[in-house]
Chains A and B, each alone.
Chain A
């Protein structure tokens, strides 16, 4: 925030040219104050001017009392507002928009329930380090603390799930605050920020146009890692016998996929990714071992288990990746590249910490490694694991349609740049396992928070982002579960209204399937509250929304339905009735050793 806002005009530097110009044209603004946008008359206009100046093109939100002044200011704005059915949908749509577009997503809600409905989406963005700005209305400042109508302590509620949040202090400064919050969300390690906007602040008059937005001091770290540390890490890579790259979501957020590919290919180092890192390295590359973790490939988990040098980039070593920490890469020297120093040695000790931007540090390493490690024998071993533990599934004639088959059918029918969104559960795992990803920002999912219901609003946000970038030809496919779909399917109405070309594939097994799988494995098959045989007919429901609705029960219906849905210009829902008993495999039981994954149910 600019400190000059409160400065009386007479204190300004008299010799300043801008000051003279301002005086000459009788501009009623602070002469020291650099303007980033056109004239404004209210706090709300200043908010919108700041967003426009920061480059925001799209907002997702829901109207309401306390946020009305800001919406009113959007009336004349170039920013496209997409009204969502529920604020949670607005937050997820903004999150997914940001992932696809590579810039902060923007969501808006009113005070009280509007703000609390955003909370799940903000927490989701926080766990996945997604850049997003949430703007919430608030009761007028004089009512704050009185338990006024639709009052919630939004700053208090969202404090632990935002990178930083702000309570706007006045009409003169609110634009600068919003600009700073927008920039902060993408500075360094990205994450959600929030500005709470009391109605008096947005309604009050101001003629002060917001200045150029910058992140707060100290929040935009040096992108380069310490040169000596890079050299030490390079020596460790050169002498490694069984090195493995582990590319995380940070590689994608840093737009470092090119650098990651160059690095791995320059030295023939096998590559695994985390789930958020899917797309950072092409899964059909010879060096790719796909992704590691609880439901990652057996070969990725074996490589991680046996490596002597783990080159981890942009990952926070989540427990779903590491399994039991005692058995995680137990023989590896760990090189950890991350922009956030707090991630270094948080969960897994880093022998070679490299603090910096993923792309820059990978470039530094590519230069610093003088002699490639000899990895031929190691790569052969990895290739053997690939042959021994492929991702496969049986398709017996007497069993219902397998969900994995549906994922493969969609993959086959679409181009490499297709964006996949998901809910959370079994369908999410199959969508990540049986689709071959090759490009960053094509896999849009809820990882850290594991938010059921993410898929449909994320598809809305992803579609809008692709259209905004002029990429109308890309397909957007949402894989959802019956349980996940039921949580946010109201956003289908938005897709219909906005004529968004998305295809939603519900892998309907009439269970909250991942829970059912765990109940079978760990709770003696006691299906408490996991039986979802009460699901509505999703194809008819889709038709009622005004979307195309299809239902598929058999293998031979899959390809024609996929084709029809993809060809349909607008939202389409296919209700795939799949095998309720199918399990996600391989599986590392929670807290177990990655190398001891169960390839089949009877190994659990």
Chain B
């Protein structure tokens, strides 16, 4: 083969003394070379020395419309854990379209991280469409809260204050159902703490975009009941 580096000079490796090219030990070291000043941050973005902006992580709600096939939840949760995304909650439930489910995930990530979650999710075959839900979307979570029943009247009062509903009342415990956004739920839980919380179960938030905005891109609002096609 004539493309050989040594052959190009008419030399042969069998006579190394005829090769005038510098051997590794004769080549300049790292300190003898010129190096650029520029740098990138950990996300691979060039750092602008004037306008250096590090990405802060933030809470984002990701909604995905998925085909309800076996293993779809395992695919999504496996992806999240394998790529080390910080996830706060994940809920899944059916839609009005047969065979379609909606997954709502709350994540704590930087903007590039959120972008990666969306793109990696979109690559999963059962995922029909996925995207971050707009900040003004309606988000709501359901909580079942079991507290000690020492003072039923006080429990009832706090429950009323947070629009809660008593779903079970016994001699030992009272169970209250609450719905609302994260802030109001957190406040309510804080208020119930003084009774002694025995057990708590939270669904994690679900979300729908406001008005005509699709919750996940490519979804057509107002077409529930019709099959949703893949967004090309």
Contact = CB atoms under 8 A, between A and B. Distances in A.
**A and B interact:** yes
Interface of A: 155-156, 159-160, 163-164, 167, 184, 216-219, 222, 282-284, 298, 302, 305-306, 317, 325-328, 330-332, 340-342, 344-349, 387-395, 404-405, 408-409, 411-416, 434, 436, 438, 555, 585-586, 593, 595-603
Contact of B24 (A342, A347, A393, A438): A393
Contact of A218 (B79, B112, B232): B232
B215 to A, nearest CB: 18
Contacts of A393: 23-24
Interface in B1-58: 1-8, 13-14, 16, 19, 21-25, 27-30, 33-46
Nearest to A348: B44
Nearest to A402: B13
B82 interface: yes
Contacts of B41: 326
Contacts of B183: none
Nearest to A331: B38
Interface centre among B2, B23, B78, B120 (most CB of A within 10 A): B23
B70 A167 contact: yes
Nearest to B112: A345
A318 to B, nearest CB: 12
Contact of B45 (A284, A349, A595): A349
Query: Would you list the 5 A-B pairs with minimal beta carbon distance, nearest first?
Result: A330-B38, A436-B3, A284-B3, A218-B230, A599-B27
A7 B2 CA distance: 63
DSSP majority for the B interface?
Answer: loop
Contact count band on B: 35 or more
B75 interface: yes
Contact of B36 (A283, A331, A392, A600): A331
Interface string B118-134: 01101111001000000
A341 B204 CA distance: 29
A224 to B, nearest CB: 13
Contact of B14 (A298, A438, A555): A555
Contacts of B75: 159
B63 to A, nearest CB: 17
29 contacts: A156-B74, A159-B78, A184-B125, A217-B230, A222-B232, A298-B27, A317-B44, A326-B40, A327-B39, A328-B40, A328-B44, A331-B37, A341-B119, A342-B120, A342-B123, A348-B40, A349-B46, A349-B112, A387-B21, A388-B22, A389-B22, A389-B28, A392-B21, A409-B13, A413-B1, A415-B1, A598-B30, A599-B28, A601-B24
B4 A395 contact: no
Contacts, number: 157
Contact of B115 (A326, A345, A434, A438): A345
A323 B28 CA distance: 20
A395 B16 contact: yes
Contacts of A597: 30
Contact of B16 (A160, A348, A394, A585): A394
B27 A388 contact: yes
B121 to A, nearest CB: 9
Contact of B29 (A328, A349, A599): A599
Nearest to A593: B35
B231 interface: yes
Contact of A330 (B36, B112, B231): B36
B89 interface: no
Given A298-B27, A411-B3, 10 more contacts: A156-B74, A160-B82, A216-B125, A326-B41, A347-B44, A349-B44, A391-B5, A409-B13, A598-B29, A598-B30
Contacts of A340: 123
Contacts of B22: 388-390, 392
B190 interface: no
Interface in B195-232: 229-232
A436 B4 contact: yes
A342 B79 CA distance: 13
B171 interface: no
Nearest to A595: B35
Contacts of B34: 306
B115 to A, nearest CB: 7
A49 to B, nearest CB: 23
Given A555-B14, A602-B25, A390 B5 contact: yes
A208 B120 CA distance: 35
B206 to A, nearest CB: 24
Nearest to B24: A600
